[in-house]
Every structure is written in structure tokens, then in C-alpha cells.
Amino acid sequence: MSSQSDGGGSDTPEGVDLAEGIDHQVAMVMDLNKCIGCQTCTIACKTNWTEGGGRDYMYWNNVETRPGSGYPKDWEEMGGGWKSEEHAERQPGQLPEKEEYGRAWEFNHEQIFYEGSDEPLRPMDGAEWGPNWDEDQGAGEYPNSYYFYLPRICNHCTHPSCVEACPRSALYKREEDGIVLVDQDRCRGYRYCVEGCPYKKVYYNSVTKNSEKCIFCYPRIEGEGPEGEVRAPSCAEDCPPQLRLVGFLDDEDGPIYKLVNEYEVAVRLHPEYRTEPNVYYIPPFAPPQHSERGESLDSERIPRNYLEELFGPEVNEALNTIERERAKVERGEESEVMDLLTTENPAKQYRLEVFDEE
């Protein structure tokens, strides 16, 4: 593969880099101003794909409170990704310890309910960390503390370092949509991919001895299933506030292209890992800080430098644009950005069949 792609085809719109050999790239925009940390996405994903069989501890989709350590704990400090924009040399990474994920706790329901145990219903073998351990904690001091929620799936990166890490080439990126998968036949569970992914979105299954990861619900977007209906990934479709837009990055008429490339209000998480994620975020705004006399101040609550750490310097212009666009609608003017972020027209939320004619 080339280190710098010019796009997958002559039709690729301006500003969109597809990995070489990829016809189209699925993508998601998640609006953090609509994320309420309810984890319906997490559960929807889990009931679809990761129940039992060594998968219980896995959260292909998880939601983290930020600032926070996340899941697995302190994943941002574990390396992975690429050393440079050339995507030539991978950044070394670490494999998370079991404790950094937390075990999928089991509970003693039966003994308590039916066998007269006087133990409390609590995780057997104790609990030290879990996928949402630091929920709602954030940082700062009352009344100027701050936190927000960050949902995460596999980014189905344009330059996936997990794919490069696999010595067996058991991970690959699909030609038709850029989804990154672990071949469950070919994988032998070496876990180089787990180590190589800077987002720690590949998981090792100690029962099957395979690594597994988010599959962008490809059976759903392909229209598999008894009803033959094309459906968005369940994390998106089941999201109560509908904070996710799903489509193709190279769909010039779609909302994702507009939010990412035209208005530049959707930004990547940790762009410095250089894997070029295809999940983008509308960065969060928050109510202003309070003075010691209980007055609302004209100062931002979430420190910009923290947001820059997460989303890179692009976050500043994104937030400024959002503020400008919000002011417009407050004055009664039209704003395409605001329209794109509301669900007045749900038909635009998921554009998964735009390239079907090809």
C-alpha cells in the first residue's frame, strides 16, 4: 500500500483520502453534545455480538466519561499507531493487562434468592475496574468541574495499524466499504493487533483464542437477516438521542462529508496516532463557569487545551463554527450545520445505499 493515498478513485470528492484499493469508506459522526452517557449503544452492541463465549468483557462499543481513564484503563498511554504521516513505521504499543479491562463480573443471584445465602449481591471475586468505573467523575472542582461522554467504536481507520501489526495478515480492510475485520478463521490470537491499535479496540477472546472487534455491523448494513433490510449499525440505530450519523466519507451529498470536509465541525479523536480514523466527533460545549459569588462568568468550562489533547488543534475552529452557527439560528437565520445535527429529517441520518447502483 502507498503511504499517502490520493483517494480510491477518480470520483472521490475533494479532501477525502481513501485507503488505496478501497472503493468507499464507511464513516460515522458522533455528536458529543447529544451524548447523555446512557450506553444504549453499548448494550445494543453487546446483545448483538458480544454475549458469552469469552466475549463478555469486551465492549466493541463503549462510552467513557471524559476526562477519565476509559476502557481499558489508561488506553491512551499504551502506544500504537504510526510514527509519522508516511505510515511507514508503527509506534510500539502495549498489550493491556486483564485488570485494565476489568473482568466481566459474575453475581450470586441464585444463592441469595433461592438458597438462603445472606451475602450481599455483589461481584464474586471483587471488582477493581470496569468499562465504566469512572463514570461521571471528570475533573475540576465544584462548581467548575467538567465532564462529558465519549462513545467509542473501532474507527475503521484509513491506515489501520492493527492490520499492519498482524503477522498472519488475519486483519484486513474490506474493498467495498473499508470496514476493518479480523478473519476469525485465520486469526491465531497473537494479539499484535491488540497491541498495535492505539485506540485499544481489538479484544482477545481467551475462549476462542481469537481476537475480535467491532464489525461495523456489516450484516446489518449489507441487508442480511430474514427481512433483507439495510440497517445502520445497532449502536447508531438504537441511540435514543440519535447522535450518530452513518454513511460514507466519500458521499459528497451526505451529511458526513459536509460536517467533516465542508464545515469542518467534526474532528478526529487523537489524530496524532495517525491511523486516520473514520469516526468523527462534534466536540462538546458546556455551560460557562461560576464565580465565587455564584455568578455565571464569560469563561469556558471545559479547558480548550484538554479538548486539543483529545481532538487536536482542529477542535478550536470546529467549536468556533458551532458557536457561530448556533448564534445564527438564535437570531432566526438558517444554518445547514444545525439542520444536519438535528433529526427533523431522519432520512439523512443513515445513507448506506448511495453506492448500491455501482
Partner 1 sequence: MSEHNTHDESDGIDAARRDFLKGLGAATAVGVTGFGLGQQSEMQSLEIVDDPIGSYPYRDWEDLYREEWDWDSKARSTHSVNCTGSCSWQVYVRNGQVWREEQAGDYPRFDESLPDPNPRGCQKGACYSDYVNADQRILHPLKRVGERGEGQWQRISWDEALTEIAEEVIDTVRAEEYDAISGFTPIPAMSPVSFASGSRLVNLLGGVSHSFYDWYSDLPPGQPITWGTQTDNAESADWYNSDYIIAWGSNINVTRIPDAKYFLEAAYNGTKRVGIFTDYSQTAIHTDEWISPEPGTDTALALGMARVIVDEGLYDEAHLKEQTDMPLLVREDTGKFLRVSDVPGLSTSADRPDQMFVMQDQQGSLRVAPGSLGERDGQYDPSESISLDFDPQLSVEGTVQTTDGSAQVRTVWNNLNDELANYTPEYIYEETGVGEQTHQEIAREFAEAEKAKIIHGKGVNDWYHNDLGNRAIQLLVTLTGNLGEQGTGLDHYVGQEKIWTFKGWKSLSFPTGSVRGVPTTLWTYFHAGILDNTDPDTAAKIRESIEKGWMPLYPSERDDGTRPDPSVLFVWRGNYFNQAKGNVALEEELWPKLDLVVDINFRMDSTAMNADIVLPAASHYEKHDLSMTDMHTYVHPFTPAVDPLGESKTDWAIFRELAAKIQELATEREIEPVPDRKFDREIDLTSVYDDYVRDWQTGEDGALAEDKAAAEYILEHSEESNPSDTDEQLTFDEIDEEPKRLLATGDHWTSDIEDGEAYTPWKRYVHDKEPWPTFTGRQQYYIDHDWFLELDEALPTHKQAPVLQEKSEYPLGYNTPHGRWSIHSTWRDNTKMLRLQRGEPIVYLNPEDAAKRGIEDGDTVKVYNDLAEVEVQAKIYPSSEPGTVRHFFAWERFQYPDRQNFNSLVPMYMKPTQLVQYPEDTGEHLHFFPNYWGPTGVNSDVRVEVEKVDGGGGNQGGDGQ
Instruction: Dump the DSSP string for 314-348.
Output: HHHHHHHHHHHHHHHHHTT---HHHHHHS-SSGGG
Among 6, 15, 113, 304, the residue binding partner 1 under the rule CB under 8 A is 113
- Contact status: 230 vs partner 1 (CB under 8 A): no
Among 55, 73, 156, 173, the residue binding partner 1 under the rule CB under 8 A is 173
Work out how close the CB of 234 gets to partner 1 at its nearest, in angstroms, rounded to a whole number. 7
Beta strand spans in the chain (E)? 26-31, 62-66, 148-152, 171-173, 180-182, 202-205, 210-213, 244-248, 267-268, 279-282
Pairing assessment for the beta strands 202-205 and 210-213 based on DSSP bridges: antiparallel
Cα separation, 114 vs 10, in Å, equals: 67
Q: How far is CA 344 from the centre of its chain?
A: 24
- Contact status: 220 vs partner 1 (CB under 8 A): yes
Where helices occur in 152-203 by DSSP H, the ranges are 161-165, 192-196
Residues 6+ apart with CB under 8 A from 196: 80, 90, 93, 161, 162, 164, 165, 166
- Residue 251 C-alpha cell reads as 458521499
Work out how close the CB of 172 gets to partner 1 at its nearest, in angstroms, rounded to a whole number. 4
Residue whose CB is less far from partner 1, 196 or 254: 196
- Contact status: 228 vs partner 1 (CB under 8 A): no
DSSP code of residue 172: E
Torsion-angle region of 178 (φ positive above 0: left; ψ -120 to 50: alpha; else: beta): left
- Contact status: 38 vs partner 1 (CB under 8 A): yes
- Contact status: 354 vs partner 1 (CB under 8 A): no
- Contact status: 47 vs partner 1 (CB under 8 A): yes
Where helices occur in the chain by DSSP H, the ranges are 40-49, 98-101, 109-114, 161-165, 192-196, 218-221, 234-237, 255-257, 304-311, 314-330, 336-341
- Contact status: 104 vs partner 1 (CB under 8 A): yes
Q: How far is CA 176 from the centre of its chain?
A: 21
- Residue 108 C-alpha cell reads as 450470586
Among 171, 267, 310, 318, the residue binding partner 1 under the rule CB under 8 A is 171
- Contact status: 271 vs partner 1 (CB under 8 A): no
- Contact status: 123 vs partner 1 (CB under 8 A): yes
- Contact status: 207 vs partner 1 (CB under 8 A): no
Residue whose CB is less far from partner 1, 127 or 207: 127
- Contact status: 190 vs partner 1 (CB under 8 A): yes
Q: How far is CA 195 from the centre of its chain?
A: 18
- Contact status: 48 vs partner 1 (CB under 8 A): yes
- Contact status: 329 vs partner 1 (CB under 8 A): yes
Total binding residues toward partner 1, as defined by CB under 8 A: 131
Peptide bond into 120 cis (omega under 30): no
Among 74, 105, 252, 321, the residue binding partner 1 under the rule CB under 8 A is 105
Among 121, 313, 320, 323, the residue binding partner 1 under the rule CB under 8 A is 121
* Nearest partner of 59 among 48, 109, 237, judged by Cα: 48
- Contact status: 241 vs partner 1 (CB under 8 A): yes
Work out how close the CB of 213 gets to partner 1 at its nearest, in angstroms, rounded to a whole number. 11
Residue whose CB is less far from partner 1, 143 or 313: 143
Among 169, 253, 317, 320, the residue binding partner 1 under the rule CB under 8 A is 169
Work out how close the CB of 127 gets to partner 1 at its nearest, in angstroms, rounded to a whole number. 5
Residue whose CB is less far from partner 1, 99 or 313: 99
> Residues 221-225: contacts with CB within 8 Å, 24+ apart?
221/26, 221/177, 221/352
- Contact status: 181 vs partner 1 (CB under 8 A): yes
- Contact status: 109 vs partner 1 (CB under 8 A): yes
Among 4, 84, 98, 188, the residue binding partner 1 under the rule CB under 8 A is 188
Work out how close the CB of 168 gets to partner 1 at its nearest, in angstroms, rounded to a whole number. 6
